């Protein structure tokens, strides 16, 4: 039973209302070293992506620790870093807790810092990997979508947003929907994982109106390819969109580095 | 039962889904009876649905991995939108860590003003039974929101005074259905595929017909035999 985003909080407190399903992986367990940084990274991404919106209450430290599968002290450490970056505000008292304070300037600074900190090789490689996933999803979806599926996809896809958060969220929803149409649970999980890890950077260009328009045009072209059952074209359009977004990101990185 | 013919295969397919729908139908009847005798309120509906579905979800070897009632918007006095849905032990959705999942309630965000609010009446498992007033099988589809896996959802509408009050339904994993039905579909022929109403393959004896691929309706005539099953399913067989 597919339940819309409004209902998806089985493992989330009511205060965490995510707007796309990528939210479901925001709090998935973390593995490996440097866990406090990983927690911080995951939450930062969710905030800049708009999965956690301005003013939203985060789960308690202990709840967060349980869900991420880390020690409470690790969750506390991550929250402290987020507070230092000005992305979270902690209030005491009966209605207290940690709240998201994601102003546009603040999230922009955080993202710019992230773009600068990653190497070109890393960014390009993420794009290559994501293009492989999203391209395969689109190609499979071209063979496996009914008229009904396409109509639903059109309804969420063919909208021009005048706000970058909404545009990023929409791009994520569309990619996820196309992944679901591939009929591959593994591709869907990988799409979700990549969205949580990489989407704020990959779709950074949606901060410019010009590229929100460009993305809409690309979504339209992908939809046409899906409707025509043209797997090659669906894949190619998707891969091209990702490649263009990465080129923009690398150019932006150069600009940022020159300014610095 | 040993499956030797397409008739045997149809019997196995029909029994499998009829068993699911007979559970769902039993819950529907109880819900309609409750609604006929009492003002419909969230707490009572939740109690009732929990009592109805939890024993069936908990049964050893149960095929169903999620079940419940989804209310028609505006039907319940104290909640415009409401889901009374339970997830079974085998349902791994949202489960983190090594512990086996427990039987649990799907907690829903039902606030219409929330940014994340979406109208569930647009989704196939609601829309089709609401339009046809018949039982309906949605999927196979990747349910990234609720089961986290490849799923079939069986739903039927519930009524009060001639008005639809919601849908009652159950989720199944496609993996389990493949195990349950593949021998029967094989018995129907080396090139036999069980498809849903849209022509999406549920399970096929021929491994070149992957589950989830489409055998579009306008091409069904090209197959040697088109054998209707119950619950909107069809066996397409080539000799």
- Model confidence pLDDT, tens digit, residues A107-119: 888 889 999 999 9
Q: Provide the chain B residues 14-53 that lie in CB contact (below 8 A) with chain A.
A: none
Q: Are residues A191 and A88 in the same domain?
A: no
Interface probe for A, chosen from B88, B144, B149 (most Cβ of A below 10 Å), is B144
Would A110 be classed as within a structural domain?
A: no
* Shortest CA gap B184–chain A (Å): 23
Q: What is the ipTM of this complex?
A: 0.85
Would A44 be classed as within a structural domain?
A: yes
| Segment A203-215 mean pLDDT | 96
Question: Which residue of chain B comes nearest to A156, CA vs CA?
Answer: B118
Question: Which residue of chain B comes nearest to A178, CA vs CA?
Answer: B142
Which residues are within 8 A (CB) of A256 and not within 5 positions of it... i.e. 6 or more apart?
A112, A115, A116
pLDDT of A254 over the 70 cut:
yes
SS3 at position B29: helix
User: Distance between CA atoms of A6 and B122, rounded to whole angstroms?
Assistant: 13
Would A112 be classed as within a structural domain?
A: no
Would A223 be classed as within a structural domain?
A: yes
Q: For residue A140, what pLDDT is reported? A: 98
Pairs across A and B, CB distance < 8 A: 140
Q: Are residues A132 and A243 in the same domain?
A: yes
Q: What is the DSSP string of chain A?
A: ----GGG--TTS-TT---SSTTHHHHTS---SS-HHHHHHHHHHHHHHHTSS-TTPBPPPHHHHHHHHTS-HHHHHHHHHHHHHTTSEEEE-STT-EEEE---HHHHHHHHHHHHHHS-HHHHHHHHHHHHHHHHHHHHHHHHH--HHHHHHHHHHHS---SSHHHHHHHHHHHHHHHHHHTT-HHHHHHHHHHHHHHHHHHTGGGGSHHHHHHHHHHHHHHHHHHHTT-HHHHHHHHHHHHHHHHHHHHHHHHHHHHH-
Q: Are residues A150 and A255 in the same domain?
A: yes
Q: Are residues A124 and A34 in the same domain?
A: no
Q: Which of A46, A71, A102 is the last residue of a domain?
A: A102
The torsion angles phi and psi of B57, rounded to 5 degrees, stand at -70, -30
Q: Are residues A84 and A18 in the same domain?
A: yes
Report whether A16 contacts A46 (CB < 8 A). Answer: no
SS3 at position B105: strand
Whether residue A146 and residue B198 make contact (CB cut-off 8 A), yes or no, is yes
Q: Which of A32, A67, A102 is the last residue of a domain?
A: A102
Q: Are residues A127 and A254 in the same domain?
A: yes
Whether residue B145 and residue A179 make contact (CB cut-off 8 A), yes or no, is no
Q: Are residues A95 and A148 in the same domain?
A: no
Q: A52 lies in which domain range?
A: 5-102
Would A168 be classed as within a structural domain?
A: yes
Q: Are residues A126 and A242 in the same domain?
A: yes
Q: Are residues A128 and A188 in the same domain?
A: yes
Question: Which residue of chain A comes nearest to B198, CA vs CA?
Answer: A146
Q: Which of A102, A131, A164 is the last residue of a domain?
A: A102
Q: What is the DSSP string of B156-224?
A: EEEEETTEEEEEEEEEEEHHHHHHHHHHHHHHH-TEEEEE-TT-BEEEESSTTS-TT-B--GGGGGGSS
Mean per-residue pLDDT over chain A, rounded = 86
User: Distance between CA atoms of A78 and A237, rounded to whole angstroms?
Assistant: 39
Would A111 be classed as within a structural domain?
A: no
Alpha helices in B59-173, H assignment, sequence order: 124-132
B73 touches chain A (CB under 8 A): no
Q: Are residues A34 and A91 in the same domain?
A: yes
Whether residue A185 and residue B125 make contact (CB cut-off 8 A), yes or no, is no
Question: Which residue of chain A comes nearest to B154, CA vs CA?
Answer: A1
Which chain B positions have a beta carbon within 8 Å of A179's beta carbon?
Answer: 142, 144
Q: For residue B118, what pLDDT is reported? A: 62
Question: Which residue of chain B comes nearest to A51, CA vs CA?
Answer: B116
**Residue B151: how many CB atoms within 10 A of its CB?**
28
Q: What is the CATH number of the domain that holds A35?
A: 1.10.10.10
Summarize pLDDT for A2-25 with one digit per residue, the tens. Answer: 544 433 433 333 333 333 444 555
Q: What is the CATH number of the domain that holds A237?
A: 1.20.120.530
B83 touches chain A (CB under 8 A): yes
User: Distance between CA atoms of A231 and A229, rounded to whole angstroms?
Assistant: 6
Which chain A positions have a beta carbon within 8 Å of B99's beta carbon?
Answer: none
Which pLDDT tens digits describe chain B residue by residue (239 residues)? 555 788 999 999 999 999 999 999 999 999 999 999 988 999 999 999 999 999 999 998 899 999 999 999 999 989 899 999 999 887 777 665 555 667 888 866 666 655 455 678 888 999 999 999 999 999 999 987 666 789 999 999 999 999 999 999 999 999 999 999 999 999 999 999 999 999 999 999 999 999 999 999 999 999 999 999 999 999 999 98
Q: Are residues A155 and A77 in the same domain?
A: no
Q: Provide the chain B residues 161-180 that lie in CB contact (below 8 A) with chain A.
A: 169, 171
Instruction: Write out the two tokens for A140.
Output: 């499979």
Q: For residue A10, what pLDDT is reported? A: 36
User: Distance between CA atoms of B19 and A186, rounded to whole angstroms?
Assistant: 30
Domains in chain A: how many in total? 2
**Residue B191: how many CB atoms within 10 A of its CB?**
16
Would A109 be classed as within a structural domain?
A: no
Q: Which domains does chain B have, with CATH numbers?
A: 6-173 (3.30.450.20), 176-238 (no CATH)
Instruction: Write out the two tokens for B170.
Output: 């159950």
Q: Are residues A131 and A216 in the same domain?
A: yes
């Amino acid at each position: 039973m597919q339940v819309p985003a409004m209902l998806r909080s089985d493992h989330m407190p009511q205060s965490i209302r995510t707007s796309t399903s990528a939210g479901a992986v925001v709090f998935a367990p973390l593995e490996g070293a440097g866990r406090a940084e990983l927690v911080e990274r995951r939450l930062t991404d969710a905030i800049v992506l708009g999965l956690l919106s301005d003013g939203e209450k985060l789960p308690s430290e202990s709840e967060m620790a349980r869900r991420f599968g880390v020690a409470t002290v690790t969750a506390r450490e991550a929250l402290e870093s987020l507070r230092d970056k000005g992305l979270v505000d902690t209030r005491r008292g009966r209605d207290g807790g940690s709240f998201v304070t994601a102003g546009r300037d603040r999230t922009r600074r955080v993202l710019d810092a992230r773009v600068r900190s990653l190497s070109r090789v890393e960014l390009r490689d993420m794009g290559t990997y994501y293009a492989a996933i999203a391209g395969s999803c689109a190609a499979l979806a071209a063979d496996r979508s009914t008229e009904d599926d396409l109509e639903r996809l059109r309804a969420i896809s063919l909208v021009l947003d005048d706000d970058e958060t909404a545009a990023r969220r929409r791009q994520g929803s569309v990619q996820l929907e196309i992944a679901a149409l591939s009929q591959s649970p593994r591709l869907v999980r990988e799409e979700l994982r990549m969205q949580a890890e990489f989407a704020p950077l990959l779709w950074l260009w949606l901060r410019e109106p010009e590229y929100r328009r460009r993305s809409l045009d690309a979504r339209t072209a992908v939809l046409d390819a899906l409707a025509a059952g043209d797997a090659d074209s669906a894949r190619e359009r998707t891969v091209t969109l990702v490649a263009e977004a990465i080129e923009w990101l690398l150019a932006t990185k150069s600009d940022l580095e020159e300014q610095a | 039962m040993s499956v030797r013919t397409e008739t045997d295969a149809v019997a196995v397919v029909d029994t499998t889904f009829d068993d699911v729908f007979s559970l769902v139908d039993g819950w529907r009847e109880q819900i309609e009876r409750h609604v006929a005798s009492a003002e419909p309120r969230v707490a009572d509906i939740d109690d009732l649905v929990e009592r109805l579905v939890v024993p069936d979800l908990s049964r050893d070897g149960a095929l169903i991995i999620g079940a419940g009632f989804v209310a028609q918007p505006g039907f319940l006095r104290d909640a415009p939108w409401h889901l009374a849905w339970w997830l079974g032990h085998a349902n791994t959705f949202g489960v983190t860590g090594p512990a086996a999942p427990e039987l649990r309630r799907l907690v829903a965000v039902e606030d219409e003003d929330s940014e994340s609010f979406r109208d569930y009446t647009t989704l196939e498992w609601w829309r089709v039974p609401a339009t046809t007033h018949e039982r309906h099988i949605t999927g196979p589809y990747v349910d990234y929101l609720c089961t986290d896996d490849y799923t079939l959802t069986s739903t039927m509408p519930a009524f009060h005074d001639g008005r639809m009050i919601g849908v009652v339904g159950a989720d199944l994993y496609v993996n389990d259905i493949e195990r349950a039905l593949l021998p029967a579909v094989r018995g129907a022929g080396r090139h036999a595929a069980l498809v849903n109403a849209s022509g999406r393959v549920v399970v096929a004896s021929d491994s070149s017909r992957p589950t989830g691929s489409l055998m579009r309706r306008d091409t069904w005539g090209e197959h040697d035999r088109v054998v209707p099953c119950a619950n909107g399913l069809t066996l397409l067989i080539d000799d």
